[in-house]
Amino acid sequence: MTFADMAMGQTLRAETGARGSSTVSLNCDFVGPGHLHDVVEARVHVSRRARTMVFLSAELLAGERLLMVASGLWKVVAPS
């Protein structure tokens, strides 16, 4: 969940140029276990960008194996 929150917030800032953002809500489905030494990759998608709110979704994968599906809502703190 921490990694999902980080990756989604980073993507938001990279995609929108916002300098800061706050997570408003986050929904996580734990689809499968991640194991010691797995390299976990987050693929993040911006679903919609409104003026102050951004909707994001993400998949966390270890190779081709799906570990988590997440979706959430962010408030842009300092739009640039």
Q: Which residues lie near another protein (CB under 8 A)?
A: 1-6, 9, 20, 22-30, 33
Written as six digits, the tokens of 36 are 């010691």
Nearest CB to another protein, comparing residues 61 and 72: 72
- Provide the CA 66 distance to its chain's centre, in angstroms: 15
Q: How far is the CB of 51 from another protein (least distance, A)?
A: 20
Question: What residue type is 29 in one-letter code?
Answer: D
Nearest CB to another protein, comparing residues 28 and 62: 28
Nearest CB to another protein, comparing residues 61 and 68: 68
CA distance 21 to 47: 16
Q: How far is the CB of 72 from another protein (least distance, A)?
A: 8
Q: How far is the CB of 75 from another protein (least distance, A)?
A: 9
Written as six digits, the tokens of 37 are 């030494």
Q: What share of the chain is helix, strand, coil (3-state, %, to 5)?
A: 20, 50, 30
